[in-house]
Structure 1
Amino acid sequence: MECTGERYLPEFDGDWTLEHLHRYLLACELAADKIVLDIACGDGYGSAMLAKHAVDVTGVDIDSPTVERARSKYKANNLRFLQGSATAIPMDDSSVDLVVSFETIEHLTEQESMLCEINRVLRSNGMLLISSPDKYEYSDVPGYQNPFHPKELYREEFDALLQRHFAYHSLLGQRVIFGSVIASPEQRPFLSWEKEAGLGRTEGLPHAVYHVAVASDAPLPQLPSSLFSAPLEHSSGMRQLKASLQGAQINLQSCQQELASAKEQLSALLNSRSWKLTDPLRRLAAQIRKWRS
């Protein structure tokens, strides 16, 4: 499968590895003893992760070749992959305990229809775990436009959309960060301090690039704050820096080779018979220039 940026593929590491895997790790915490639907499952790696915890997992994707690839790549007795869309889910009414939908809703303009379909397949006490990029942090701030996202949502829009379809919902923030997190296991706010903002204190995660929401018509379980860490060397910035350094080293080696070649040519010229024979003439010309000055 070609890595176009539309779908995450485990073979292509980078910052998005943390983003995608962290969300599925959170989903696995909720999947125990549940029947799970992973809508727009893509490669299928997340569905396979969920199958290690859930009773049954169905991965659904709109692209038939992608579904066939997932079927051949990930196999388990409690895992299956079906072709279908987020607005026409190929599952029965009230048949699912947990629906997982990561980075899907911004790919659709029929967002209301998608949530109606999810509500249809969810049981009365079922739960939706959904994520979508925040339009302000993801697009507006960096001046970026993702060609695969026809309808990104601001935080307020995402919040209002969930409120229209579920009796309860809660928003969490997500961003990639290489650093240290200290969090209390007790029921207290998650606090953040930013060095560049004069150690300003914030409740919650500031500048969240993605919103991860849990929604249900039943009261929600308590969700922990969490961290999924990786070595700094695995970050996209470090990879780009290494590539630039390698390019600079190649250019330096090329310059060194050209300099060595020039020195060899100069040495050959200085030691040549013709150069030695014309040396008296060069000395005379230099003396004449000295007299004239």
Structure 2
Amino acid sequence: MPRVVPPGSLRPRAAAARARHSADVDYARLHRHLIAADLASGSRVVVLGCGDGEGAAIIAETAASVVAVDPDPVILGGARSRHRAPGLTFLEHPEGAAGLPDGGFDLAVCFDAPAGRAAEGLVAEAARLLADRGLLLLSVDAGSAPSPDPGTNGHEATGATATAATRLERLLRGRFEHLAIWTQQVSAGSRWVPLRPADGAAARSVAVSRREGRWQRRHAPRTTATLVAAASRVPLPALPGDAELHDHGMAILERLRAERDDALARAGRAAEAQEQIVAKLREEVVAAQARGLRIADGLRRQIEGLTRQLQGERERAGFFEKRYHI
């Protein structure tokens, strides 16, 4: 009987979910690392928590050198194999960047930083690694927030975002005198920019979703906001105000669509294989039941035969008792 093992059915489903929801993550990370690359021109850079190394590789295109640090040897091994560039080094440091020199870097990058005490330790480590005029770029999750009103141009932070910004500022002020904070949100759509605006023109925003084969208007969804901060002991260099990323070829969305389609196809194949296993098991159960019935019938016949033999023996014993008066 085959053993029931789901043939990778959970992984394709997880990948399909990622393909549906991770475009915002990919665009947000790409945008942050492109801005970091602009600020890293000719600099010595350390990337704390480099993950898959894609962001470190982007920064390495402009930096003099990049040391990318991560505690996970498996992820780091993949990063080394995928990203090779002059001046780009990947280091495994389970305890952070303790082996790197004090003041050895002009720019420290830590995107998707942890919260709580881990964040405090990270900021302290970045401050140690940075030269006196060094710059820290850091991002943290600000939680769920309503999509910004287009009339405010996204500048007014409310609720969870404002609270997270206050915590972030308090964290950085302990070690850096100068700082700037941005909020980052991702959405896909179309933008009108007025060249000759009409009198009384006002900003307008509409959110839509695809349901039952047609587009439907909906309330603006809550989106995951990210806070990005730049901090230094000296006055900050020229930094972006508003910053936008435009993917004219929709490359990330197209890649995610392909990833989604592949994941769904693999999930379909896994489900089909599982159905075949279940069907085989059902066939074997029916066959076992049939074999069991046949065995039971044979046993009943044997019992009946033995019972008849026993009865015959008893009758013969009675006959002999009467005959020989035993």
Calculate the TM-score normalised by the size of structure 2. 0.55
The Cα shift of 1:235 comes to 5.0
- Structure 1 residue 162 and structure 2 residue 172: aligned? yes
For 2:50, what is the secondary structure of its paired residue? coil
Quote the Cα distance in structure 1 between the aligned partners of 2:42 and 2:140. 26
Cα distance in 1 for partners of 2:252, 2:70 equals 29
Q: How much does 1:102 deviate?
A: 0.5
Q: TM-score, normalised by structure 1?
A: 0.61
Higher relative contact order (CA 8 A, sep 6+): 2
Equivalence for 2:140: 132
SS in 2 for 1:105: coil
Q: Report how far residue 65 of structure 1 moved.
A: 1.3
- 2:231 and 2:128 map into 1 onto residues whose CA distance is 14
Per-residue CA deviations over 1:86-139 (Å, capped at 9, x if unaligned) read 744431000000001100223x6322221111100100000001111113539x
- Give unmatched runs, 5+ long, in structure 2: 1-10, 147-162, 195-201, 207-221, 269-326
CA spacing shift, 1:164–1:4, aligned 2, 3 Å:
farther
Answering whether residue 246 of structure 2 is matched by residue 229 of structure 1, we say yes
Please give the per-residue CA displacement for 1:148-186, whole angstroms capped at 9, x wherever unaligned. Answer: xxxxx7221112111122111100111102233869xxx
- Specify the structure having the higher radius of gyration (Cα): 2
2:83 equivalent among 74, 79, 82? 74
**Is the 1:169–1:213 Cα contact (8 Å) retained in structure 2?**
yes
SS in 1 for 2:140: strand
Q: Deviations over 1:227-265 (max 9, x none)?
A: 1123679659x95xx97xx99xx9xxxxxxxxxxxxxxx
Cα shift at 1:15: 2.1
Contact 1:38–1:58 at 8 Å: present in 2 too?
yes
The reply to whether residue 59 of structure 1 matches residue 88 of structure 2 is no
Partner of 1:149: none
CA contact (8 A) 1:103 1:132 kept: yes
Any unmatched runs of 5+ in structure 1?
A: 139-152, 184-191, 197-205, 251-293
CA–CA separation in structure 1 for the residues paired with 2:73 and 2:108: 21
Q: Give the aligned partner of residue 264 of structure 1.
A: none
Q: Percent identity?
A: 28
Trace 1:11-30 onto structure 2 (pairs within 5 A): 14-30=23-39
Equivalent in the alignment of 1:174: 184
Please give the root-mean-square deviation of Cα atoms over the aligned residues, in Å: 3.8
How far off is 1:208 after superposition? 7.5
Question: How many residues end up aligned between the 2 structures?
Answer: 208
Structure 2 counterparts to residues 189-208 of structure 1, below 5 A = 193=203, 195=205
